[in-house]
Every structure is written in C-alpha cells, then in structure tokens.
C-alpha cells in the first residue's frame, strides 16, 4: 500500500451520495483508500460494502446491530472492526488514520461528526448541507480553528467553488452576487391547486437527479434551494441579498458568479453527483469521475425562469431565517426535517410542509442564549422539532 493514498471515511455510505462516492473511490484504488464507513438502518448493504472494500471501521447506530454485523463479517473473513453509536461516528471522523471525511449523512444528525472532522483538521467534503445550516457560525469557526479544508459537494456550491478560489479574501471585492440554479423539481409546471394532494412517490420522482427521499422532497418544495442559500452564505461569506436563485430545468449550468464588471462565470456539466464528489476528493487536481461528457450539440436548449413565490413558499423562508436572529436557520431546518418525515409518512400534506416551517419559525424565536454553544444549538434544534411535532400532530 502506498503511503500517499488519501484515507477516506464515508459517513452515510449506503445513501445516494455515499454510493456515488464509493463508485469514484473504486475507480482510483491507487489514490484513495476506504478507511471507514457508516450506515443508519441498512446493515446488509453496509456488510456488502465492508466485504467488498475491507475498511478498517464500520459504524452503525445500535450496539446489537453492530455486534451482529461484526459476527457476520468475522465469519466471512473480513477484518473490519464494527463500532456503535453517534460517539463512534465522531471518533472515526477525527481518527488519525483518516485524512478525509465524506459527510453524506442526511439531516442535523450529521453535525457532530462534521464538527469532529473540522476540529481534527480533516479534508471535510460536505454533502450534508443541514449540518452547516444548523451549525452556521460555529461550524465555520470549528473549520477555521481546526485548520480543516472544507470542500463543497453540493453541485451548486461545487460549481461556485470551481469558479472562485478557496480564499475569499482574494475575490470578495470583485463579485456582485451569485446565482444558484434550481431544477424546479417535479412540480415546476403542475397546477398549484393540486399540490395539497400530491403523494410522497410523486414528490420523490425528481426529473434530473436520483437522490435520497428527504432531499427529493426538499427539491419538490424548493426548501432544498433554501437550505443551499444558507449553505452558500456560510461557504462563500456572502450577504443574504448577494444570493439569488434561478430555475434552470435542464440542470446543466450548476451555478453562476456575477462579477462587479458584469462578467459571469459558470460551471456546466451533465447532472451527475460524481463530478463534485470527484473534485472534492482530488482537489486541486482532477480525476476521472465516471460522468458522461456534456454534448452541447445534443442538449435541449438551456432555459431560465424566476421561481414562483406562491408555488414555492419554502424558498422565501430561507432568506427570512437568514435575516432573522442567529439560530433561526437551525429552527427552519429542524421544522423542515420533522415536516418532511411527516409528509413521507402520509401524516402531513405536501403544502403543509412550508406551512409548518413558517409557523415554527414564528413560534420558536431564538435568543442569544440559544446560540452560545453547540449544545445550546442542539437544544434549540430539539425545541423546534418538538414545536413542529405539535404542529403536525404527530
């Protein structure tokens, strides 16, 4: 084994981003080594990953499931050590044997291991946008203090990052605003009167991307773009009014930077998450990602439209939370996670998602004491979840 190989932990290895990451890693066994993996409920899939790649560690939430997996792997001659619990996630994220962490857990549950990786100065490849939306200034401080290299994996933020150098001080005076592009999801042209009755499967049928169910629903409400507005605010040190959103149904232009002199920088490509994943893994170099080539001669015409605020009320809530007291974005995220879960379980209507988030934002205004430490932020997250559960009646 070469000592130069990047030793990678993939947190959320059984998900959509996790499996795309494993695909890119497997294309470059000379450059990357899979050192740790985690899953939440899909222990069988995690077992397959361990048998195929023999990572040093695997993490599951429950000790019983971890023991069962350990036994199964041992019986098959696999030497992966299986650990259990949230503490173990943070432990592998910060381990000296790990150089880089792919944060591909969905939701605020990913915040503690992200912070552990940030404090330990890792290359932190962030797909888990909710962690940054909740952690905000704390997250960025942990990155700075730990000397971590925070690299975006979200395709829009990767696009911006490919247009702008990492050090914002070199360009912050030169840009006017950025434009995050959005596909508009499956309901871009659907009669708004019918949105209250759409089913989880309809909401998860994304036109351009195959993703986990939570982010698919977020794309249908456009809350995903709202979370990305907040993510961009932190990653690129922007003011809320420097971030704009345009619907671009073809998902070819992944985002744009509009400079002071009106020059516009953009990144284009086929919609394939392996491109931003490969860039985060190989930055500042580039490696083959497995994505197909963009063939502009056989691509439908690129079009752009303004998002309709009545059809997508969730999007505006992100700016409201950014302009509100610190901690409001954590409240927004918590309420959204609960509301999406309730929608997927058919306990809440699709239009009820944005209504729930708006109500919880009004009912749970954060104070300075709620953002004094990460524990305070997590307590605020729990309070907002409780308020959201009361609102959806679950």
Question: Looking at 65, 200, 209, 363, which residue binds ligand NAD (CB under 6 A)?
Answer: 209
What residues contact 307, with CB distance under 8 A and at least 6 apart? 182, 184, 222, 225, 245, 246, 247, 315
40 binds ligand NAD (CB under 6 A): yes
> In this structure, are residues 114 and 139 in contact, taking their beta carbons and an 8 Å threshold?
yes
Question: Looking at 49, 90, 104, 246, which residue binds ligand NAD (CB under 6 A)?
Answer: 104
> In this structure, are residues 130 and 110 in contact, taking their beta carbons and an 8 Å threshold?
yes
Q: What pairs with residue 175 in β-bridges?
A: 259
User: In a 10 Å sphere around its CB, with 0-12 CB exposed, 13-18 middle and 19+ buried, how is residue 302 labelled?
Assistant: middle
Q: Which stretch binds ligand NAD (CB under 6 A): 12-20, 257-265, 299-307, 317-325?
A: 12-20
Considering the complex, what minimum distance in angstroms separates the CB of residue 335 from ligand NAD?
A: 16
Question: Looking at 66, 124, 215, 318, which residue binds ligand NAD (CB under 6 A)?
Answer: 215
**Binding-site size, Mg ion (CB under 5 A):** 3
Rounded to whole angstroms, what are the CA distances from 171 to 148, 175, 243, 253? 21, 7, 16, 21
d(C-alpha 295, C-alpha 252), whole Å: 11
Q: Which is nearer to ligand NAD, 42 or 244 (CB)?
A: 42
- Footprint of Mg ion on 320-339 (CB under 5 A): none
Q: Which stretch binds Mg ion (CB under 5 A): 4-12, 155-163, 229-237, 281-289?
A: 155-163
Considering the complex, what minimum distance in angstroms separates the CB of residue 263 from ligand NAD?
A: 27
Pairing outcome for strands 243-247 and 175-182: parallel
Question: Looking at 179, 273, 291, 384, which residue binds ligand NAD (CB under 6 A)?
Answer: 273
What residues contact 97, with CB distance under 8 A and at least 6 apart? 7, 35, 56
The residues that touch ligand NAD, with contacts defined as CB under 6 A, are 12-18, 39-40, 42, 104-107, 109, 127-130, 154, 209, 211-212, 214-215, 273
Interface positions with Mg ion (CB under 5 A): 154-156
């Amino acid at each position: 084994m070469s000592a130069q190989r990047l030793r990678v932990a993939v947190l959320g290895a059984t998900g959509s981003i996790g499996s795309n990451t494993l695909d890119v890693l497997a294309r470059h066994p000379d450059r990357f080594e899979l050192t740790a993996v985690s899953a939440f409920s899909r222990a069988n899939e995690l077992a397959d990953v361990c048998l195929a790649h023999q990572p040093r560690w695997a993490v599951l939430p429950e000790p019983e499931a971890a023991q069962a997996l350990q036994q199964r792997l041992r019986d098959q001659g696999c030497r992966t050590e299986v650990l259990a619990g949230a503490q173990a996630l943070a432990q592998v994220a910060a381990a000296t044997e790990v150089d880089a962490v792919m944060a591909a857990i969905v939701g605020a549950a990913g915040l503690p291991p992200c912070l552990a990786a940030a404090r330990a100065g890792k290359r932190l490849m962030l797909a888990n946008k909710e962690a940054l939306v909740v952690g905000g200034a704390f997250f960025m401080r942990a990155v700075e203090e730990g000397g971590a290299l925070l690299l975006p994996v979200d395709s829009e933020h990767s696009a911006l990052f490919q247009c702008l150098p990492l050090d914002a001080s070199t360009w912050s005076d030169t840009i006017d605003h950025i434009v995050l592009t959005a596909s508009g999801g499956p309901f871009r042209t659907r009669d708004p009167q019918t949105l209250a009755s759409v089913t989880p499967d309809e909401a998860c049928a994304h036109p351009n991307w195959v993703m986990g169910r939570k982010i698919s629903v977020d794309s249908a409400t456009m809350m995903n773009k709202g979370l990305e507005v907040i993510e961009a605010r932190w990653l690129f040190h922007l003011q809320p009014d420097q971030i704009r959103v345009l619907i671009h149904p073809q998902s070819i232009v992944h985002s744009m930077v509009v400079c002071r002199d009106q020059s516009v920088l953009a990144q284009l490509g086929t919609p394939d998450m392996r491109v931003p994943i490969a860039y985060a893994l190989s930055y500042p170099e580039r490696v083959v990602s497995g994505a197909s080539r963009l063939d502009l001669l056989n691509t439908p015409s690129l079009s752009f439209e303004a998002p309709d605020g009545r059809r997508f009320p969730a999007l505006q809530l992100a700016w409201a939370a950014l302009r509100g007291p610190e901690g409001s974005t954590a409240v927004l995220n918590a309420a959204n996670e609960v509301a999406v879960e309730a929608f997927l379980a058919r306990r809440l209507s699709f239009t009820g998602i944005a209504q729930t988030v708006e109500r919880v934002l009004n009912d749970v205004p954060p104070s300075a004491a709620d953002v004094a430490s990460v524990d305070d932020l997590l307590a605020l997250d729990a309070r907002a979840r409780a308020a959201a559960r009361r609102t959806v009646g679950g």
